[in-house]
Structure formats: C-alpha cells, structure tokens
Structure 1
C-alpha cells in the first residue's frame, strides 16, 4: 500500500474476482439393502435424467451401497446437485422412477416422512392393523388417498413417505393420521372426496 500526496492510501488494483476454477462438489446418497436390486434394474432409467438433464457425473458404488453424484464444467444449474440428490433419495425411499423424476421437473415438490409412532404408540397386532387400514384391501385405501390428494405414498414398515406439493402432502397426511388413530376408512374416504372436489373448484 502506498500513500499519495494528499495523504490518502493508494491500493493496488483489485485482482479479477471472477471465479474461474469450478468448485467440484460430490454428494453420496446411501441406498438401503432392499433397494439395491431395484436400483440395478432401473439404472438405465435413473442415470439419463441426471446426466443429460442436470449435466451431473453419476456412478453407482455397489461396494459402498450408494449413488455418487458430482458436478462438472458442463453443469449449468447451481441447484442441480441438490435436485439430483433429492431424486435418488426419493427412489431409495421406495418411490417409482417416474414419480421421483417429477422432483427434477417441478420445483414445488417435497418429500415428507413420518413414523406411525409419531402419531400414536402402537405395538403388535394394533400396529399391523393400523398399517392395514392405511393400505386397504389390495392397496385401495392408499390409492384413494393418492388420487384425492394428488400425492404419492410409500408405506415402508412403520415409516410413511409422502411425495407431493406442500398443501397436497398436508391433505394426505391428515387422512393417514385419521386412519392410524382408528377412523373407519369410509369416513376418511368421505373427507377425501370433499377435499378433492374443493381442490377441483379451486383450479
């Protein structure tokens, strides 16, 4: 630093602050053992959206049971890595590839996870019956909740994962909570029909 004739400090010109070097970030998404076979089976459908759409580098690490994602010079979207991670995580939780791909295409989709014990502590047969009430015969109740609330629901033992928009998740969660608390499916269907018709009026 130099001082000019008027006593003011003179600083050397600032270096070019444009960041030329790319900051390479890596994300590792662990895959549960029961989802490894579906991952291998659906891999030809999983990696193209990540590589072609998000321009990420991807590899399946079978030894570590994980999918590794990395950005590159070709990656243009700053949120690509997060979107890719959300997509792979959705698949690892049990959602179909097509449903998980929606997370890449739409910005206002989320996944909410909660456990049956968060709502009510149930054990043994009571727990089994609660899961049965949510699924319904041949999965009919689950499909009814999905269709009315425009969400996707995955029942993974005691965990429930819901994929959808914020308000839609709220509707699906309310229906599932009612079933866990012992509400008869008929009553829950009725409430869902009312909510679904209200949603149609709104759009």
Structure 2
C-alpha cells in the first residue's frame, strides 16, 4: 500500500484555503523589541540568580601613581675589551654623566673583572633605560665615540649591527687584507664616504665591522660594504651611494 500511495496524485486545494494558508504564514512577524526585552530580562534573571547563589565579581584595589611608575629591578654587566680600558678610564666622566643624570641608573666600573655594571634604582623612570644604557656602553666598548654612542640614549630607532668579513665571503691572507683596505680606503676616505651617504657610523675592528644607525641606513651601509668585499670597484659603489643618498634626500 505504501508504494501505491507514493504514486497518488496530489490532492486539490481550493483557492479559499490557499489564501488562508498564505495569510497564516504572513501573520508570523518577529518583533525586535520583544526579543531585546526578553533577552534583557534573561540577563537580569541570570544576574539575580548569580547574586543569590553567592557568586560575586572580583574587586581590585586602584593602582597608585608610584606603583604604576615602578621599574623592575635589573642589572647588566658589559664586558670591556683590554684595548678599550684606557679610553674608558679617559672618558669615564663623559660616559658616566648621561647614565646617572638622564637615565637615572647606577653605574660602576669593575676593574678586576673588566666590566661596567649598570642597574636600576628607585629613581629610574623609563622601563627601557637599562637596555639603552647597556647598548650605549657596549657601543663604546666596540670602538664608537662617546658622542656617537650617545644617540642610543636619545633616540629610539638607533641600532647596532655587527658582522664579519668571512660572513660575506671566505677570504684568507692577502685577499682578506685587501678587502679591509677596500672598505677603509686611503686615509679612511671610503669609510667616511659610506658614513656620510648612509648617515651611519662604522667601526672597522680587524675582520669585524660594526655599524651604528637606523635600520634602513644600516642596510644601505651594509650593502655598500658587502659590494666592496665581493670585489666591486669603489667608483661603482660611490655611484650607487650617490643615487641612494639623493633618493633619501627626496624622501625627507
């Protein structure tokens, strides 16, 4: 019987009953106001039930101004190479003054361990003062002048980048010496040209190269130095630096 019922023709529906069915469908209208009031009533009921059950919201005491400005205690020990101990002693007051007066840090020189120790204190206000002070002393230890290294304290977008000539190309003996000579130039002319064009400071320490500047400027100086290491003639590097410096002037 079920198979026969499946093949039966659909039953006829009069126009009057069809209109009534359509009207019934249209009569079902959702009112947004009723839903919002209903949901609000449910939320109120939930709050009342939670308060009646004894569950209360956590309450925290207000943070005072002194507690909000406190900086976590920390200490940094920066090792100083033996050949930089004499310049450190000579320029100690110039290095010491901005760390204590402006960054509000405690500094001391440990001659036995050949380190400079920096730590925060109660008067330290800047959370990044310890890191900036450590980078400042590390820059001087790498060979930068005090005035150049002081940019790490005054500006936020100044960084240190270090790499070796062997990281770019494996050179030995006279080839390595010639690569260093190409970077320095006669009387330091090439190095000064790269510094002025890229607005950076460069230190050549044997096979290591240290660059101080912003991220974009470090990239410009590093590309020029890598080109010299790989054997590009200085004239070609000067031309590319001239183009880059002109583009930087147009940008700023």
Q: Same fold (TM over 0.5)?
A: yes
CA deviations over 1:165-184 (Å, ceiling 9, x no partner): 11100000000000000111
Aligned residue runs from structure 1 range 1-203, under 5 A: 6-9=52-55, 19=67, 23-203=72-252
- Stretches of structure 1 lacking an aligned partner (at least 5 in a row): none
CA shift at 1:24, angstroms? 2.2
Between structures 1 and 2, the one with greater helix share: 2
CA shift at 1:68, angstroms? 0.3
- With over 3 angstroms needed to count, the CA separation of the structure-2 counterparts of 1:155 and 1:11, relative to structure 1, is same
Question: Over aligned residues, Cα RMSD in angstroms?
Answer: 2.0
Return structure 1 stretches of 4+ with deviation > 6 angstroms: 10-13, 15-18
The size of the alignment, in residue pairs, is 200
**Larger displacement relative to structure 2 (21-30 or 116-125):** 21-30
CA–CA separation in structure 1 for the residues paired with 2:71 and 2:182: 51
- With over 3 angstroms needed to count, the CA separation of the structure-2 counterparts of 1:12 and 1:112, relative to structure 1, is closer
- SS of 2:150's equivalent? helix
Between structures 1 and 2, the one with greater strand share: 1
CA deviations over 1:58-116 (Å, ceiling 9, x no partner): 00111111000011111111110011001001111111000000110011101111110
Checking the alignment, whether the CA contact within 8 Å between 2:80 and 2:115 is kept in structure 1 is yes
TM-score normalised over the length of structure 2: 0.74
- With over 3 angstroms needed to count, the CA separation of the structure-2 counterparts of 1:5 and 1:172, relative to structure 1, is closer
CA shift at 1:25, angstroms? 1.1
CA shift at 1:202, angstroms? 1.1
CA–CA separation in structure 2 for the residues paired with 1:47 and 1:63: 19
- SS of 2:203's equivalent? strand
CA–CA separation in structure 1 for the residues paired with 2:90 and 2:210: 22
- Stretches of structure 2 lacking an aligned partner (at least 5 in a row): 1-49
